[in-house]
């Protein structure tokens, strides 16, 4: 399911997508489709770039505008000004985690390719999420751990915990011990981060 389109980037691994709304799609995504920690893919000619939603921002150009309002209600605008665009929306921050080649070979780390503007952002299915995180033998791989801590800044530990919440049921007992160690480490990081504030 396409949930957004890329509108800009803050860095090579930090992209911004605008969530599709009723003007972009007959069936726009529901809020649970673009929540914090949702894994996404961005299809490319050579496969797909994989990312995770780490931030959101509401945009509303109407807020803070002073002076008399000359416009009508949204219902009246649809009748008298059908070309008037609703510029309110939701922006999502995407942190790139790696990529998958056409042959389904998985690479966790910083992708080399630049994502073009207007590229589609697709919500990943559980099977895709599992295959992106599975090493040989079916064990969990999180080679992007330090990348998330570095680039997601204050959201890093919470983002990794949200990822683990999704990954734990997918890997079951195979990676239970590793997930428990990661959770303890991330919880300690949060304790020290909160004390520093």
Coil, helix or strand for 182?
A: helix
CA-to-CA distance for 98 and 9, rounded, in angstroms? 16
pLDDT for res 23 = 82
Domain ranges of the chain: 2-196
Helix (H) or strand (E) holding 75: helix 74-80
CA-to-CA distance for 192 and 197, rounded, in angstroms? 9
pLDDT in tens, the chain (197 residues): 999 999 999 999 999 999 999 888 889 999 999 999 999 999 998 899 999 999 999 988 776 665 555 555 556 555 555 555 567 899 999 999 999 998 778 999 999 999 999 999 999 999 999 999 998 878 899 999 999 999 998 899 999 999 999 999 999 887 888 888 888 888 887 776 666 55
Give which of 127, 138, 137 is closest to 166, Cα–Cα.
127
- List beta partners, residue 2: 122
């Amino acid at each position: 399911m396409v949930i957004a389109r890329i509108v800009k980037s803050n860095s090579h691994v930090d992209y911004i997508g605008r969530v599709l709304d009723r003007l972009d799609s007959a069936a726009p995504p529901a809020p649970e489709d673009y929540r914090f920690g949702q894994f996404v893919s961005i299809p490319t000619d050579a496969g797909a770039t994989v990312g995770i939603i780490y931030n959101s921002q509401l945009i509303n150009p109407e807020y803070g505008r002073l002076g008399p309002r000359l416009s009508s209600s949204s219902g009246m605008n649809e009748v008298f000004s059908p070309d008037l665009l609703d510029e309110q929306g939701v922006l999502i921050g995407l942190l790139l985690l790696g990529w998958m080649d056409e042959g389904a070979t998985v690479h966790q780390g910083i992708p080399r390719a630049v994502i073009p503007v207007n590229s589609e952002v697709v919500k990943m299915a559980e099977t895709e999420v599992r295959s992106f995180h599975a090493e040989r033998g079916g064990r969990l791989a999180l080679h992007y751990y330090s990348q998330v801590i570095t680039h997601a800044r204050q959201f890093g530990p919470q983002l990794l915990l949200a990822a683990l919440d999704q990954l734990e049921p997918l890997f079951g007992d195979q990676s239970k011990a590793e997930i428990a160690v990661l959770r303890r480490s991330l919880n300690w990081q949060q304790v020290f981060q909160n004390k520093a504030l």
